[in-house]
Amino acid sequence: MRNKSIYATYSDQHVTVYQAFGNKIADELLLYGKFGSYFSLSRVSWIKTSFLWMMHRSEWASKRDQERIFSIQITKEGFDYILSQAVLTKFRPKIHSTSNEWKQKLNETNVLCQMDPDRDLYGNELQRKAVQLGLKNEILIKYVNEFIVGFSEITDKAKNYKRMILNNNLDISLLPLETKYSINDAVAMELGLSKGDDGQCIQESLSENN
């Protein structure tokens, strides 16, 4: 059974999320220090807390329109607010009372939540889930204008890590330290997640699967 928790790099003030963009969005972000005209506020924008899931999804910064990877720091309050609004994109009988209730919540929310198998260095599935949060409408505007406190492009780092993996010489201690993120009872129940912090980090989990 998979570990259904949120793992992230975070502090008391900030949470790190990852996004992949095409060159036009990335260039504007670096030029202006904020999203520009190529970043659409009328579409869903997905954020991830798992570095290796982001690498899997973007094929290590090689997939079309995902060639540029950014590490983005947002306020912890903002991340908690995003989680409080999230609704799973799939109906879960053990979580939702009825299919109609779930559909109504899904139609009304501005935060979509998908849980996918997390990945190891080689793209193999881990026995835990990775969270993706799709932001739209008012929440996306808040994310862009209020929640983001800093960012950095990590494309070169991702490509360097990929070369190390191919040469079988990547030290997993170089990876971002991701530990279980504590969430409140209501969010845990709505998303079918465990809520506590067990202290386990990404490196420990990867070691268990090697």
Strand pairing report for 68-75 and 111-119: unpaired
Q: Angle at CA 85, nearest 5°, toward 178 and 29?
A: 60
Rounded CA-CA distance 52/170 in Å is: 13
User: How much is the pLDDT for 4?
Assistant: 81
Q: In the chain, at which residue ranges do the beta strands (DSSP E only) sit?
A: 7-8, 14-21, 45-48, 68-75, 86-88, 111-119, 125-135, 148-153, 179-180
User: How much is the pLDDT for 95?
Assistant: 84
Low-confidence ranges of the chain (pLDDT < 50): 198-199, 207, 210
Taking a C-beta distance cutoff of 8 angstroms, is the pair 99, 86 a contact?
A: no
Helix axes 155-166, 51-58, angle to 10 degrees: 80
User: How much is the pLDDT for 193?
Assistant: 87
Alpha carbon separation from 51 to 42, 65, 93, 94, 111 (Å, rounded): 26, 18, 30, 29, 20
pLDDT mean across residues, the chain: 91
Tokens of 175: 């990876």
Rounded CA-CA distance 42/5 in Å is: 29
What is the pTM (predicted TM-score) of this model?
Answer: 0.91
User: How much is the pLDDT for 118?
Assistant: 95
Alpha carbon separation from 180 to 11, 14, 42, 204 (Å, rounded): 12, 14, 32, 12
Tokens of 26: 């990335």
User: How much is the pLDDT for 205?
Assistant: 53
